Structure 1
Amino acid sequence: MGGVAPVHSYGLRAVMLAALLSGAALLAGAVWFGTAGLAVASAVLFAVGWAAYFHSERTVLTAFGARPVSEVERPELYRLVQELCSAARLPMPRLLVSPAVQPNVLTVGYSARSAAMCCTEGLLRVLTPAELRAVVAHELAHVSRHDLGVSSWSAGLASLVAFCPLSALLLHLTSAPVREYDADAEGALLAGDPMALASALRKIDMQAAALPLRPRGFLAAASHLMIAHPFSYGGFGRLFITHPPTGERVRRLEALAGYPR
Structure 2
Amino acid sequence: MRRPANLPLPANIRYRSSIRRALRDRGFDDFETFASVSKQQASMMRRHKGNDKCKWEAIGYCRQDDICRVPKRCQAACLIGNWAYRSEIIVAVHDKIKEVPREAFLVTVVLESWSFQLGRLADLKPATPHRWIQGRLQNLKGVRGIAYVDVSFNTMGANSVWQGHLHAVLTGATKEELKAALSVKANAAVPKPVMVKEIADGDLVHVLAYATKPLPEGRVAYVAENGRQAQRFINVPPKHLREHDLWRMGMLMPDRHQLIGMRIG
Q: More strand by proportion, 1 or 2?
A: 2
Q: More helix by proportion, 1 or 2?
A: 1
The answer, yes or no, to whether TM exceeds 0.5 is no
Please report the TM-score for the alignment, with normalisation by the length of structure 2.
0.25
Higher relative contact order (CA 8 A, sep 6+): 2
Please report the TM-score for the alignment, with normalisation by the length of structure 1.
0.25
